[in-house]
Structure 1
């Protein structure tokens, strides 16, 4: 349903937009949080495929900010200097990035955000991350029948992560039998970070009933930490619906039991499509588009079709 609404939205915008001077899409600059995360690899592929659909000769350059705001500032300045048409940004900080966004726009670039918000961007397409956190943590509440000790393995404080944790906590707060033992440890959104942070938390807390990890790499790291410590008394849920998590959910012997799925390929591709329209004077009917997450579990994984990008 989300796909059809978004597709229809693009068609309506194209039909209603006032005439404007056409600008060729010749170059796209992309700054993502981490090239080591399969999620961001899929976003880059989505942007590249949509861009080449507009202009087969378009130049697409992708760089990793590694969640370093100053590094992202420099990347944007480099894209401005190279004269790209469209800046696709996965902002390290949704508010602090605004001066860079404004500089890019002043240089004639269209700025499109994806996955996380970016103040001042021309358009943003992202998952409804509050809902993603809600459904992942409601699974925990249901599994525990409203009572238990839980960990939230946090991550970089980008808007998507903040919103997931916000949604998760809102669910837990409605259930007074749920006790959050820890919620402020940053596992960097990575497998290695998930492993080290979870290992430390499990050593600290002898009784844990569930873990909410802010993304799939973190969840996989948490699962590995549990195995190393011979801990198996809890379940893990997360967000992404990545290919690696499909294997975990199908295995039958993983502590990971659910993930709120996203579609990074579609998300970033839609953002580029809107940006290309804006480049040609076709302003979308709104500036922020939210995609609906769906909870995939060890019970319904057989019905899950996975991310849109070919794997």
Structure 2
């Protein structure tokens, strides 16, 4: 009888807790947003959309406070995470890591302190350090350009590639890109170097490629900012062998180039909008205000952009 009574008491307590749990919806949420500084067009878009999320969501939810911090490198971002926990007392975090490996442990330490963690885009090397992951479709980001280039080259030619920063998402993109080309043995990837999603770095890497390789049919820049540097290097070298430069992320400049047919090397792009930081902040904030969790993974589709559909992806007022 005693055991039954204890069991019943436990059940009553559990039921009472369940009945009172909606009260958590009224609990305040202090959400930290940790992102890289605007060191190129895409991260400029990330910063802009993060601040738009802060403005819109704090207005819509009086119990919500959002703190946006930008970092110029991985060590600075790691230090800011400590400040967000100890000084700002955050109970939720949305982080776009500057790098994957070096930020994994600092983020894990934040999670251990009871902070709900949503990682955006550049994933961590250990997913147990996060509660949720929101990103664009990095597999499609690599796969669609490879399929497009292979078709345009009729399955034969020489390609060089420019990668971003060493991150899980860059690995996903390059693995998808090179995976497609394995089915086209007459297409050779001559080299693939990191250019840090940066115009100047891409210019220098492309100069090196143009010096070393006398025949290049296509360049996968893997980012619209890097594609700008690639085009500048090609123009300076006066190379006429290159048929295609394929960037990525659907910047308004590249989409307008496709619409206007103003550069024969830019014929297509792939969508990957920085707006997903806004979506990640909104999803995380609204879930935490309700005391709920997000799905473990949320993927936002990437789409091939050509002249036929480019109007749908052209946003002239966007910062990117």
Aligning the two structures, in what range does the TM-score lie when normalised by the shorter sequence? 0.7 to 0.9
2:298 — aligned with what?
A: 289
| Pairs within 5 Å for 1:93-108 | 93-108=99-114
Q: 1:90 aligns with which of 90, 96, 108?
A: 96
| Pairs within 5 Å for 1:244-259 | 244-249=253-258, 250-259=260-269
When residues 54 and 304 of structure 1 are mapped into structure 2, their CA distance, relative to the original with a 3 A threshold, is closer
Q: Give TM-score, length-normalised by structure 1.
A: 0.84
8 A Cα contact 1:30 1:44, kept in partner: no
- Cα distance per residue 1:148-167 (max 9 Å; x no partner): 00001122111221111111
Distance 1:159 1:113 in 2: 12
Distance 2:27 2:252 in 1: 37
| Pairs within 5 Å for 1:212-251 | 212-234=220-242, 235-249=244-258, 250-251=260-261
Distance 2:252 2:179 in 1: 28
8 A Cα contact 2:91 2:115, kept in partner: yes
| Pairs within 5 Å for 1:36-51 | 36-51=39-54
Q: Is residue 118 of structure 2 the alignment partner of residue 112 of structure 1?
A: yes
Measured on the aligned residues, the alpha-carbon RMSD in Å equals 2.3
2:76 — aligned with what?
A: 71
| Pairs within 5 Å for 1:113-132 | 113-118=119-124, 119=127, 120-132=129-141
SS in 1 for 2:268: strand
1:188 — aligned with what?
A: 196
> Paired residues, what number?
288
Distance 1:24 1:299 in 2: 47
8 A Cα contact 1:35 1:64, kept in partner: no
Q: 2:169 aligns with which of 160, 167, 186?
A: 160
Structure of higher CA gyration radius: 2
- The ranges of structure 1 where at least 4 consecutive aligned residues each deviate by more than 6 angstroms after the TM superposition are none
5+ residue gaps in structure 2? 1-20
- Range that drifts further, 55-64 or 174-183: 55-64
SS in 1 for 2:298: strand
Distance 1:205 1:310 in 2: 35
SS in 2 for 1:239: coil
5+ residue gaps in structure 1? 1-17
8 A Cα contact 1:123 1:274, kept in partner: no
**Residue 59 (structure 1) shift:** 4.6
**Residue 215 (structure 1) shift:** 0.9
**Residue 91 (structure 1) shift:** 1.8
**Residue 245 (structure 1) shift:** 1.4
Q: Give TM-score, length-normalised by structure 2.
A: 0.82
When residues 299 and 225 of structure 1 are mapped into structure 2, their CA distance, relative to the original with a 3 A threshold, is farther
1:138 — aligned with what?
A: 147
